[in-house]
Every structure is written in C-alpha cells, then in structure tokens.
C-alpha cells in the first residue's frame, strides 16, 4: 500500500510530526521530553542535553545553502541571546531531506563558510551581514558551530515511517495493522494536540506519558491519518481487518451509526441497514445453531424519523424487533435479545435509545462486539474491557458502504 498519497505541503507537516514521534520513541529514558513548536519545530530535552531541532522535508527540491540559511540564522540569534543573558547554552540541529545536491555542503562547517554562505545574504536589494548585525565574535561563532549539527541526508518519508512502525510493533508487541491504525494513528493525534496548544508549557510531553497516551485500541483514523492515506486505502484497510464477512461467528454485533441531519438521506441509511443485514445476519440461512442478527443504533435521528424508518423497513418486508413488543409497552430487553430461529427470518434489531445498548451489553453473556462510527466525537462508551469496541471516525455516513 502506497505511503505517498499526501500532497507535498501536508507531507511536510506529517514528516515533522513523524520526526517528533520517532524522536520520543527513540529516547533512552521515560522522563525525556519533546516540546513541539518551542525554540524550534521539535525540542528534545534529556538529563544532559537540550537540543532544538529544525525539521524540513523537500522531496522535490535540490539542496542549496539558501534552503538552510534562514533556520541557521534563527538558531544563531537564539544562541547569541543566551550568551548575552548568561543562560545555559543548548545544542541545535537542522534535520532535512532533499531530492539531491547534498554534496554541495562540506562538513564540518567552518566559520568562513558560515559567514559567507549562511550569514551573508541579500534582502530587498540590500546586502546583510548577520553576524555583524548581532555583533558576535569569531570565537563565539566557533562556539556556536560546536553546538550545531546539520544533517541534510535525513531519512525519506517512507524510511522514517517504517522506523516508527518497527519500534511500535516492538514496544506494544502488536501486528502491522495495530501498529499503524491504533498506535501510530494515536501518536499523530497526540502530537497534533500538542502543536495546537497556545501555552508553551502545554506543548511538552515525556516519553512515559506519550506511550501511555497512545496505548489505546479505540480511536481510529483522525484527520492527519486521513491525509496520510487516501480514503480508499483507509476504507480498504478497515474492511479487511474488521468487516470481511467470511465464516462469520454468531456473535452479538452492535453497529452504531451517526447521521448528519444537515444532509440526511433516508434512502442512504436504509441501504446501509440492508448491507449490514446482508453481511452480518443469518436470516438467509436455515441452520438453527448458526442463527444471529445484528443490532443497529442510529445516533442523532429524531423520534419521528426513526418511526418513519421502521415503517419503511416494515413495508419492505424486513423482519426486525425494537424492544417494544406491543402498543404502548415500555422497553422490554428480553424481546430485543431474543435469538432468531430458522423460521423467524429475523434480520435486524433496532435500538431506539443509547441506554438500550448498555442494558443489553450488561446482561448479555455472549461474545459482544461494538462498531461505532462517528462524525466528530465518539458518542458512546462502554467500560467492559471484555467487549471489543472499535471506534471509527468517518466524514460521511455514505462512506460505510465501502467499509461494511
């Protein structure tokens, strides 16, 4: 599966995010920290070092000194401020990938090269000599270079990603799918949440806290992951892992669907219910021992529309139960939990209220699986760790036709 689907600008952000993830995963101690968007793109804080790192990805660009010069000048400015204010001197790193031209940079960088190619430049037709503007001495330029690392032979996007997956598989003893779709995807979420914090103090995280925060198997496919993979790739991956209806076990499966009322279409929703019935109900079989039918809950659907949907299913001869066995009855859990038999042709069980989900899950002794599809935020939680609960973010409910 291609990892080159993201457009170059988005890929640059992802590369920086991925570098942050890799940097913290490779840390030797759990109390080491990264800080996002502080002095530089990524600051790495350990017991002995503070490294401010500028991270760039130029997949289609040839290296030239002008590509790294602005970042080096900003690092020198920070270095000079620390000298002036008698603060601790830190380390600096420029980490970048380029298509070609890396041989133009001779290392180690000399003071003369630093002055001529990185600190002297023309801006708006005027020559600027940055080291003179900062009034920084030759000795301090040498000191700066001793604290500077420039790596323009960084790993490419795929190599960096593969390194992350390899570490995650080892860290969590998991499969490729789990490493990418759970832990890596959660790692992207954690880094993104740090990056958007306004307060500097809120943009740092230790390796220990990072591993704790990404150690979950619920939230799948956040917005950054969908930039990394095309929708079709994401749908195909989910379908392959969770929704390939071969040798289906007679489990109690709960499909929780969220609709967007601003573009709601009953026809689309009915098609999804028919598809769930087709793939996840035994109503077409005649062997009593294998009879089963799925539960379906539709989040955000008002009562009037839910009644209209049930009527449409009834008119089209779809056999279902909803937990209300007679006129004006209250909810009767047992009527909804009934096991279908070979002659009932019970196709689906409609859940009218989220509380009914909890009621059935709590009392059922069967193997239970919850598949929750949500638009922005997950809307249902069940704390029993013995129940498989997969939460999948979607952009539109119509997407489910390609998944389930």
Q: Mean pLDDT in the chain?
A: 88
For 118-156, the pLDDT digits (tens) are 999 999 899 999 999 999 999 999 999 999 999 999 999
pLDDT at site 233 = 78
User: pTM of the entire structure?
Assistant: 0.76
Please tell me the distance from the alpha carbon of residue 223 to that of residue 38, in angstroms, as a whole number: 23
What backbone torsions phi and psi does residue 255 show, to the nearest 5 degrees? -105, 110
**Residue 373 pLDDT > 50, yes or no?**
yes
pLDDT tens profile 225-257: 666 666 777 788 888 888 876 667 888 999 999
Lowest mean pLDDT among 6-20, 52-66, 201-215, 364-378: 6-20
Largest CA distance in the chain: 91
* pLDDT higher than 60, residue 286: no
Contacts of 226 (CB under 8 A, 6+ apart): 234, 395
pLDDT at 312 exceeding the cut of 90: yes
Q: What is the DSSP letter of 359?
A: H
pLDDT of residue 1: 38
The SS3 of residue 188 is helix
Percent of the chain with pLDDT over 70: 90
Asked if residue 282 lies in contact with residue 293, where contact means CB atoms within 8 angstroms, the answer is yes
The total of other beta-carbon atoms located within 10 Å of residue 23's CB is 19
3-class SS string, 10-58: HHHHHHHHHHHHHHHHCCCCCCCEEEECCCCCEEEECCCCEEEEEEEEE
Contact of 372 with 392, CB cutoff 8 Å: yes
- Residue 149 is classified by DSSP as E
List the single range of 206-215, 246-255, 290-299, 346-355 with lowest mean pLDDT: 246-255
Tell whether the model's pLDDT for residue 401 goes beyond 60.
yes
Among 24-33, 119-128, 260-269, 342-351, the range scoring the smallest mean pLDDT is: 342-351
pLDDT given at position 5:
45
In the 8-state DSSP scheme, what is residue 91?
A: E
Contact 403, 255 (CB under 8 A): no
pLDDT of residue 3: 45
């Amino acid at each position: 599966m291609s990892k080159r689907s993201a457009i170059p600008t988005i890929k640059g952000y992802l590369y920086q995010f991925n570098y942050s993830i890799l940097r913290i995963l490779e840390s030797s101690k759990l109390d080491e920290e990264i800080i996002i968007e502080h002095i530089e793109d990524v600051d790495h804080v350990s017991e002995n070092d503070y490294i401010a790192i500028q991270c760039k990805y130029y997949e289609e660009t040839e290296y030239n000194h002008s590509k790294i010069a602005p970042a080096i000048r900003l690092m020198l400015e920070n270095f000079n401020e620390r000298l002036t204010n008698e603060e601790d001197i830190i380390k600096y790193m420029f980490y970048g990938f380029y298509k070609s031209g890396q041989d133009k940079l001779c290392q180690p960088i000399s003071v003369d090269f630093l002055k001529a190619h990185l600190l002297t430049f023309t801006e708006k037709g005027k020559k600027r000599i940055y080291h003179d503007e900062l009034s920084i001495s030759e000795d301090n330029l040498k000191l700066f270079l001793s604290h500077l690392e420039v790596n323009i032979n960084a790993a490419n996007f795929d190599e960096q990603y593969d390194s992350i997956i390899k570490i995650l598989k080892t860290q969590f003893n998991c499969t490729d799918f789990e490493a990418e779709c759970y832990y890596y995807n959660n790692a992207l979420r954690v880094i993104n949440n740090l990056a958007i914090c306004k307060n500097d103090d809120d943009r740092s995280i230790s390796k220990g806290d990072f591993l704790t925060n990404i150690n979950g198997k619920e939230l799948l496919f956040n917005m950054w992951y969908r930039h990394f993979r095309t929708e079709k790739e994401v749908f195909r991956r989910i379908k392959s892992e969770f929704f390939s209806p071969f040798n289906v076990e007679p489990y109690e499966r709960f499909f929780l669907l969220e609709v967007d009322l601003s573009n709601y279409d009953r026809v689309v929703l009915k098609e999804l219910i028919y598809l769930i019935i087709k793939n996840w109900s035994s109503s077409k079989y005649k062997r009593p021992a294998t009879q089963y039918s799925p539960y379906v809950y539709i989040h955000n659907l008002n009562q009037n529309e839910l009644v209209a949907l049930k009527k449409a299913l009834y008119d089209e001869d779809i056999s279902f139960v909803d937990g209300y066995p007679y006129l004006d009855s209250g909810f009767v859990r047992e009527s909804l939990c009934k096991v279908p038999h070979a002659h009932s042709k019970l196709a689906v069980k409609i859940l009218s209220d989220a509380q009914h989900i909890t009621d059935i899950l709590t009392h059922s002794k069967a193997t239970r699986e919850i598949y929750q599809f949500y638009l922005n935020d997950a809307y249902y939680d069940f704390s029993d760790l013995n129940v498989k609960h997969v939460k999948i973010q979607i952009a539109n409910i119509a997407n489910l036709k390609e998944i389930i």
